[in-house]
Amino acid sequence: MSHGLIAPHGGTLVNRIADSAKAEALKQEAASLRRIDLSAKQSCDVEMIGIGAFSPLTGFMGQADFNSVITSMKLTSGDIWPIPITLAVDAADAPAVGERVALYAPNGVLQAVMTIEETYPHDRAKEATIFFNKPEDDDGQHPGAEAVKKEGDTCLAGPIEVVTVCVDPTGPEAFLEDRLTPAQTRAEFERRGWKTVGAFQTRNPIHRAHEYLCKCTQEICDGLLIHPLVGETKPGDIPADVRMDCYRILIEKYFVPERTLLSVMPAAMRYAGPREAILHALVRKNYGVTHFIVGRDHAGVGNYYGTYDAQNIFDTLDRKNLGIEPLKFEHSAWCKACEGMTSGKTCPHGADQKIFLSGTKVREMLAAGQRPPMEFSRPEVADRLIKWASK
Active-site positions read: 203-204
Q: In what order do the strands lie in the sheet with 197-202?
A: 260-262, 223-228, 197-202, 291-294, 325-328
Supply φ then ψ for residue 76, to 5 degrees: -65, -20
Q: 3-state class of 106 per DSSP?
A: coil
- Give the DSSP letter string of 52-90: TTTTT-SEE--HHHHHHHHHHSB-TTS-B--S---EEE-
**How many CB atoms neighbour CB 339 within 10 A?**
9
3-class SS of residue 307? coil
19 contact partners, CB below 8 Å, separation of at least 6: none
DSSP per-residue codes, 129-192: GGG-SSGGG--S--HHHHHHHTS-SEEEEEEEEES-SSS-TTSTT--GGG---HHHHHHHHHHH
CA geometry: angle at 382 spanning 379 and 387, to 5°? 130
- Rounded Cα–Cα distance for residues 303 and 301 (Å): 6
**Count, residues in the chain:** 391
> 342-359 burial by CB neighbour count: b if 16+ within 10 A, else e?
bbeeebeeeeeebbebee
Q: How far apart are CA 240 and CA 263, in angstroms?
A: 12
Return phi, psi of residue 30, to 5°. Answer: -60, -30
Q: CB-based contacts of 227: which residues, under 8 Å, 6+ apart?
A: 199, 200, 201, 202, 263, 264, 265, 284, 287, 289
- Smallest CA-to-CA distance from 226 within 217, 234, 235 is with 217
Residue 235: partners with Cβ closer than 8 Å, 6 or more residues away:
none
